[in-house]
Amino acid sequence: MLKEILRLAFSVSTFASTFRLACPLLFGSMGGCYNSASGCANLSYEAVMLYSCFFSVLGSYISGSPWVGLLFGMGIGIFISIIFGTMSLVFHSNMIIAAIALNSTAWAVTTLLMVIIFGVRGTVYNERIVSFKPVHFKWMENLGIFNKIFNDNVILVYIAFCLVIIAYIVMYHTPFGLRIRGIGQNEKAAQTAGVDVNKYRWISLILMGAFTGISGTFLTLSGISMFVENMPAGKGFLTMISITIGRFNPLLIFLICLLFGYSQALVLVLGTLSLPTQIIAMIPYVAVIIVLFIDGLKKFKGVADIEV
C-alpha cells in the first residue's frame, strides 16, 4: 500500500496535474500580490473567483467563445473589486467585514442566477459552453517527461508561468512595485514622497479583481466546461494564503502555489486508491497548516521581538 502511494505521489501524471492545479492560484496571487503589498487586508478572493466562474460560463454560453468567457470573468472580477473598494476605500468600512459580506453572498447570488438563467440547480452543463483548447507544441515532443508534463495544456497555463516573471519584474523593478511596497510599509512617508496613495490602492485592487477573474475562468473553461455551485471550494483562500506566506514576492508565491497544486494533485491521484476520501481531501489544508507552522517557527523567539 505504502509503495503504491509513493509510486503515485511521484508519478508523471501527478506532476502534470500539479501545474494545472496551481494555475488558478497563480493568476489570483500574481495579480493580487500588489493589493496585499499595499497593506490592504483583502479576503474577498473566494467571492471574486466564484462570481467569475459563473460569468465566464455565461460568456462562453452566450458567444460560444472561451475568450468572451474570459472577458466576462475578468469583467465581473473587476466589478466585485470595485464594490469592495467602494466599501473599504471610499466609505472606510472594515475590510474584513466587507470581504465576509461579499464571500457569503456570492454563493447565494450565483446559485440564484443559475436558476434564473439556466433553470437548473447544482451543475450547469451545456454544449454551447466552450472551453479553451489544449495547445500542442511540436518541438517539445522529444523532451520525454518534460513533454508529458508541459505539452498539451490550454494557453492559460503558459500565460500563468510567464506571469510569474512579469509580476516579479513589476514588483521589484518598476516604480509601481516600489511605491506599492512603500505604501504598505509607511503610508504617510509615501504621501510625503508625493505618491498618490489612493490611486495606487485602486490600481492594485483592480489588478487583483481582473486576475482573480482569470482564475475563475480557468476553473470552468480549461476543459470541463461547466459551472458547479460553490465551485472554487477554498481555492480563493489558498490564493490569499500563498500571497501572505510568500510575503508578496512573486517567486516565493509561485513556489507555494506549486506546493498547494501538488497537494491537490495528490488528492486526485490518491482518490483512486481505497483510502478514506475524507482523509485524502484534508491534504491541501494540512499542507496549509504545516506551511503556516514552519513560517511561524522562524519568527518565534523571545517575547518582545514583535516588530513595531
Residues binding other proteins (CB under 8 A): 169, 173-176, 178-179, 181-182, 185-186, 188-195, 301-305, 307-308
54: which 3 cell numbers? 459563473
Q: Where are the alpha helices (DSSP H) in 222-249?
A: 235-245
Greatest Cα-to-Cα distance within the chain, rounded to the nearest angstrom: 63
Work out how close the CB of 299 gets to other proteins at its nearest, in angstroms, rounded to a whole number: 9
The partner residues of 135 in beta bridges, in order of sequence, read 153
Report the distance separating Cα 68 and Cα 210, nearest Å.
14
Report the distance separating Cα 125 and Cα 281, nearest Å.
25
Report the distance separating Cα 236 and Cα 43, nearest Å.
9
Work out how close the CB of 37 gets to other proteins at its nearest, in angstroms, rounded to a whole number: 11
Work out how close the CB of 52 gets to other proteins at its nearest, in angstroms, rounded to a whole number: 28
Work out how close the CB of 192 gets to other proteins at its nearest, in angstroms, rounded to a whole number: 5
Task: For 201-222, give the DSSP string.
Answer: HHHHHHHHHHHHHHHHHHHHHT
Report the distance separating Cα 256 and Cα 288, nearest Å.
10
Work out how close the CB of 304 gets to other proteins at its nearest, in angstroms, rounded to a whole number: 4
Residues 102/78, Cβ–Cβ less than 8 Å: no
